Amino acid sequence: MAFFRLQYFLLLIAGAVAFSFTADKGKKKKPVRKATTKKIAKAKPIEVVAAEDSTDNHYYIIVDKSDYELKVYDDEGWYATYPIVFGSKDLSDKMREGDKRTPEGSFKVLLKKIHPKWGPELLLDYPNETSVQKFNERKAKGIISKSAKIGNGIAIHATRPDEEWTIDNFYNWTDGCVSVKYTEMKDLFSYIPVGTPVTIQQ
């Protein structure tokens, strides 16, 4: 009798394993979004923080909001593409402080720093003169309230180390900044100098 009970128990285990395998096989895994590049950047230590504009900078950045991509170009053309997310599902231009939208226009990297929460960060010169002009015009037209503030602190920065899934799932989580995967932001940070032009567009 004990022998038959053992056989029955082993059959139950085999059946459970087979069912688990079949169920897992049937699940569709979400695609992982990864950076692509035609070259290998010569990485500099992440602790190095540039304080001045680089005189030999050959890079510029274009952030495509509708494509959820940050593209880097150099003198020879396309250099690299990084998947990104923003702060709001509303991808229109930033209107005021607190709307979590990402501003559009032409900017430059103002400062490179290491943030205590997400590490490498490229701070942009928002608001610049053009941003202030647009903001004042919208106030004058009554599009935004007279008490509204323009905001600041817009940057290109990493996700937190354990939250790269936000990029794979197009989960907009910032306060208006552009977010790159933690591991990939280390690469971008390593070769983009202060003063790099950045265009943010739809």
Phi-psi region of 4 (alpha: psi -120 to 50; beta: other; left: phi over 0): alpha
Pairwise CA distance, residues 164 & 41, whole Å: 21
Q: If pLDDT is split at 50, 70 and 90, which confidence band does 38 have?
A: low
pTM equals 0.78
CB 157 within 8 A of CB 120: yes
Query: Which sequence spans correspond to the domains of the chain?
Result: 36-201
Could you give the percent of the chain with pLDDT greater than 90?
A: 72
Quick one: three-class SS letters along the chain? CHHHHHHHHHHHHHHHHHHHHHHHHHCCCCCCCCCEECCCCCCCCCCCCCCCCCCCCCCEEEEECCCCEEEEEECCEEEEEEEEECCCCCCCCCCCCCCCCCCCEEEEEEEEEEECCCEEEEEECCCCHHHHHHHHHHHHCCCCCCCCCCCCCCEEEECCCCCCHHHHCCCCCCCCCEEECHHHHHHHHHHCCCCCEEEEEC
Q: Read off the pLDDT band of 27 (50, 70, 90).
A: very low
Spatial contact of 21 and 164, defined as CB atoms under 8 Å apart: no
- Report the Cα 64 to chain-centroid distance in Å: 11
Q: The CATH number of 36-201 is which of 3.30.1330.10, 3.30.1180.20, 2.40.440.10, 3.40.50.720?
A: 2.40.440.10
- Residues 88-135 have pLDDT tens digits of 999 999 999 999 999 999 999 999 999 999 999 999 999 999 999 999
N-term to C-term CA, the chain: 73
For residues 132-143, give the mean pLDDT.
96
Q: Is the pLDDT of residue 163 over 70?
A: yes
